Amino acid sequence: ETGVTQSPTHLIKTRGQQVTLRCSSQSGHNTVSWYQQALGQGPQFIFQYYREEENGRGNFPPRFSGLQFPNYSSELNVNALELDDSALYLCASRERGGTNYGYTFGSGTRLTVV
C-alpha cells in the first residue's frame, strides 16, 4: 500500500486566482472524495468521484470542480479564489464494494489565499 498522496503540501495564492490540487489515491481504490477543513472545524465534504464520474456534491459553489482520471488519481480545481477558501484540503479514497468501509486520507494541502 502506498497510501494517499497529495501535492503540493502548502500553497499561497492571491484572491481571484485559480488553483489545482492533486491527489494520488491508494492502489486499488476507485472512489475519491475531497474535503475542506477550516481551522478548528471538522472536514466538510466537497464532492466525490467514482470511476471518473462525480456522484455526489456538498454545499460548495460551481467554482469548485474536479476530475478523476483512469488511474484513479484526482484533481480539485478552485476558480476565483476568495479569502475564505483558505483551508486544509483533504483527499480521501476507498474501494467501493470492498469489505473495508473506511476511507484513507492524505495529509492534505494547506491553501492560503491572501
Instruction: Rule CB under 8 A: say whether 56 interacts with another protein.
Output: yes
Stretch that binds another protein, among 12-20, 42-50, 63-71, 73-81 (CB under 8 A): 42-50
Instruction: Rule CB under 8 A: say whether 24 interacts with another protein.
Output: no
How many C-beta atoms surround the C-beta of residue 78 within 10 A? 24
Helix (H, G, I), strand (E, B) or coil at 49: strand
Buried b (16+ CB within 10 A) or exposed e, 17-42: eebebbbbbbeebbbbbbbbeeeeee
Instruction: Rule CB under 8 A: say whether 30 interacts with another protein.
Output: no
Q: Cα(63)–Cα(77) distance, rounded to whole angstroms?
A: 8
Instruction: Rule CB under 8 A: say whether 66 interacts with another protein.
Output: no
Choose, by CB under 8 A, the member of 24, 29, 32, 35 that binds another protein. 35
Please, what is the end-to-end C-alpha distance for the chain in angstroms?
A: 37
Nearer to another protein, 19 or 109 (CB): 109
Please report, as ranges, the residues that interact with another protein according to CB under 8 A: 4, 31, 33, 35, 40-45, 48, 55-56, 58, 88, 90-92, 101-108, 110
